[in-house]
Chain A
Amino acid sequence: MNPLAALPVALNSLRVNALRSLLAMLGVVIGVGSVIVMVSISEGAKQAVEQQIASLGANLLVVRPGSSAFGGRRGGAGTATLLTDADVDAIRNEVANVAAASGEIGSSAAMVAGGTNWTTRIQGVNEDFFRVRDWRLERGRLFTAEEFRAGARVAVIGTTVAEQLFGVSDPVGQVVRIGNVPVEVIGVLQSKGQSAFGTDQDDVAFMPATTARSRVIGFTFNQRDPVFAIYVELAGGANPAHVQADIEELLRIRRNVLPGAEDNFNVRDMAEFIRARNETAAQLGLLLAATAAISLIVGGIGIMNIMLVSVTERTREIGLRLAVGARRRNIRDQFLIESVTLCVTGGLIGLLAGVAGTMVVEAMGQFPVAIHPMVAGLAIGSAAFVGIFFGFYPAHRASRLDPIEALRFE
């Protein structure tokens, strides 16, 4: 006898005891539903991290001066230890597998256009910066290497700045004043939205670092062409650790770090940094999913209970089936299929409940969520597993009944 032949019997028995079946399923519904919500939250956290990494720019290393050396307190040479444009050029030219690199120096400043003004971050960068940090142009153009060298008074602005200063009109070709310096807006960048740290990445204006240093940033440095940080884009397929080591070696020489002394700068793989920072979120999601799995086990115990009741109630039926020629495994299969049907039905309801719950979480806006298509398989798979695991004992018990005793059972 094909085990699936027991399916109509199982469905009939569930239908006959509809309310009881529903209550027995409830544990599985809740278990599967909460597993799905938690997995979706965990998945959402993971996707958010990947998005942040993508918006940061792919394959990005960030070089900053070491804080301990900031201000030169530990420097053997006794000099300030900001990085410089010369370091940028050295990294670009001397380190293998570097696709592009740009320094960055910034300050807050007011930009004035017509009758309105807006204070934003002015960042001095070079022509490589846009590709390194994955900024794309929406309108106009980026500045060139020649304009960088010449200290041209041009700016490429983010969408927030464009909106604040120009509203709906086209900023490209307009002139803004930063302090007393007139600067031409040559391009508007595509929006990047919020950063991993929650700030508005589009509230920014980029200028050649040369122009920014001489015209915008008021304070002076005891160093030529300083930058606060250097962003390095790796060539495709390059090993970040190798490039990082090469940059460290180069900078130790350039910055006169004695052998055995600590680096007075650090090189960070930003993708790793963000992953590590967000690992907790993903792990928390998994922990919650594990907790939800426990409720699935509790649900399974409910199933086992109801199946044991069902076996006892139907002892005579089992006896009859044995008398008319059922093998032990036919009886076992019948109750197993009933248990699996019960659980999988619960799993399907739980799937719907879980997806609905995930949508509620999304609507509340507390956590990023992502519903992976795989959760459907997870719901049905885990429900079927619960059905088999917790249904086995009652089914086995049913199959071991003595036909004579069972037929005589009152």
Chain B
Amino acid sequence: MNTATPARRRGKAAPAVSAGPFIQCRNLTRTYKMGDTEVKALRGVTLDIREGDYVAVMGASGSGKSTFMNLLGALDRPTSGELVIGGERLSGLSADALAAFRSRMVGFVFQQFNLLPRTSALDNAALPLVYAGVPAVERKRRAEARLQQVGLGDRMDHQPSQLSGGQQQRVAIARALVNDPRILLADEPTGALDTRTSAEIMAIFDRLNADGITIILVTHEPDVAEHARRKLTFRDGVIVEDRT
């Protein structure tokens, strides 16, 4: 499954050694057809993101930021334009090829956690490995390691309903990390959490980024965006502000 990935560049030195843009967007557009009317969600986005960067994406609802995130996460394909991530051109890939790409490159964290109900934290965290073809023993080992990493080593057998919101989001982060992805995409990861818990989650993100993983997160909250090194602001399908 992972053999196609080029040599991993991770660890503390990652940002320094990244050569060339990790993510290249060239004039990306995405148009939805809703009946007879066309909705232009993205109207031409061009930018590069280095590996190991920490990017906050902001903008009002309907500004195109979610569409942009879906493209970066290989959940969707651009209507036109070029998207290259880690040397792979995503524009023309089939649905299954996109799934394979997600499986080895991307981890997702959602606002609503999206954990499987009545399923233990361990099994939730191990879910992506099931689809990566990892044997059961190895799945358990890796999921355990990731749960330890997010501070849930003592809650592995708990089901989501037995966990607080912050704990559930940590399970979701462990799940996003279990495949050793190179990009972590987070869509309002603290949107459903109180201030103190939000701070804990953001501390985890900071640590992960320091370890070399590229993080791109959507947020409304300025203090969450402050954690990032780079802020992109969307309006009407284009980037209106790109601040480092």
Residues of A at the B interface (CB closer than 8 Å) are 1, 5, 12, 16, 316-317, 319-330, 403-404, 407
Residues of B at the A interface (CB closer than 8 Å) are 70, 73, 75-76, 95-96, 99-100, 102-104, 108, 110, 114, 116, 118-119, 127-128, 130-133, 175, 179
Contacts of B104 in A (CB 8 A): 325
Cα A326 to Cα B130 with chains together (Å) = 8
Contacts of A328 in B (CB 8 A): 95-96, 99
The reply to whether A320 and B114 form a contact with Cβ atoms under 8 Å apart is yes
Pick the contact of B131: A1, A12, A319, A404 (CB < 8 A). Answer: A1
Contacts of B119 in A (CB 8 A): 12
Given contacts A16-B118, A320-B114, A324-B103, could you give 20 more A-B pairs where the C-beta distance is less than 8 Å? A1-B131, A12-B118, A12-B119, A320-B116, A320-B127, A321-B127, A323-B108, A324-B127, A324-B175, A325-B102, A325-B103, A325-B128, A325-B179, A327-B96, A327-B99, A327-B100, A327-B131, A329-B96, A404-B70, A407-B75
Cα A325 to Cα B1 with chains together (Å) = 11
- Within the complex, what minimum Cβ distance (angstroms) separates B157 from chain A? 15
A and B contact pairs by CB, cutoff 8 A, 8 listed: A320-B114, A321-B127, A323-B102, A324-B128, A324-B175, A325-B103, A325-B128, A329-B96
The reply to whether B114 and A407 form a contact with Cβ atoms under 8 Å apart is yes
Pick the contact of A317: B73, B99, B116, B179 (CB < 8 A). Answer: B116
Cα A16 to Cα B133 with chains together (Å) = 26
Contacts of B127 in A (CB 8 A): 320-321, 324
- Within the complex, what minimum Cβ distance (angstroms) separates B218 from chain A? 14
Contacts of B114 in A (CB 8 A): 316, 319-320, 407
Cα A322 to Cα B96 with chains together (Å) = 10
Contacts of A404 in B (CB 8 A): 70, 75-76
B70's nearest neighbour on chain A, judged by CB, is A404
The reply to whether B118 and A324 form a contact with Cβ atoms under 8 Å apart is no
The reply to whether B76 and A1 form a contact with Cβ atoms under 8 Å apart is no
Contacts of A316 in B (CB 8 A): 114
A325 touching B131 in the complex, CB below 8 Å, given contacts A403-B75, A404-B75: yes
The reply to whether B130 and A1 form a contact with Cβ atoms under 8 Å apart is yes
The reply to whether A1 and B70 form a contact with Cβ atoms under 8 Å apart is no
Contacts of B102 in A (CB 8 A): 323-325
Contacts of A12 in B (CB 8 A): 118-119
Contacts of B179 in A (CB 8 A): 324-325
Contacts of A322 in B (CB 8 A): 75, 99
Contacts of A5 in B (CB 8 A): 130
B108's nearest neighbour on chain A, judged by CB, is A323
A15's nearest neighbour on chain B, judged by CB, is B118
Cα A328 to Cα B73 with chains together (Å) = 17
A324 touching B131 in the complex, CB below 8 Å, given contacts A16-B118, A317-B116: yes
Cα A350 to Cα B102 with chains together (Å) = 43
Cα A319 to Cα B76 with chains together (Å) = 12
Contacts of A323 in B (CB 8 A): 73, 75, 102, 108
The reply to whether A326 and B99 form a contact with Cβ atoms under 8 Å apart is yes
A326 touching B73 in the complex, CB below 8 Å, given contacts A12-B118, A320-B114: no
Pick the contact of A325: B110, B118, B132 (CB < 8 A). Answer: B132
Cα A404 to Cα B75 with chains together (Å) = 7
Q: List 10 A-B pairs, minimum CB-CB distance, nearest first.
A: A325-B103, A324-B128, A325-B131, A320-B114, A326-B131, A327-B96, A403-B75, A327-B99, A323-B108, A325-B102
Cα A328 to Cα B131 with chains together (Å) = 11
Contacts of B133 in A (CB 8 A): 1
- Within the complex, what minimum Cβ distance (angstroms) separates B200 from chain A? 23
- Within the complex, what minimum Cβ distance (angstroms) separates B233 from chain A? 22
Cα A324 to Cα B178 with chains together (Å) = 10
Cα A404 to Cα B108 with chains together (Å) = 12
- Within the complex, what minimum Cβ distance (angstroms) separates A397 from chain B? 15
Residue among B76, B130, B132, B175 with max Cβ neighbours from chain A (10 Å): B130
- Within the complex, what minimum Cβ distance (angstroms) separates B93 from chain A? 13
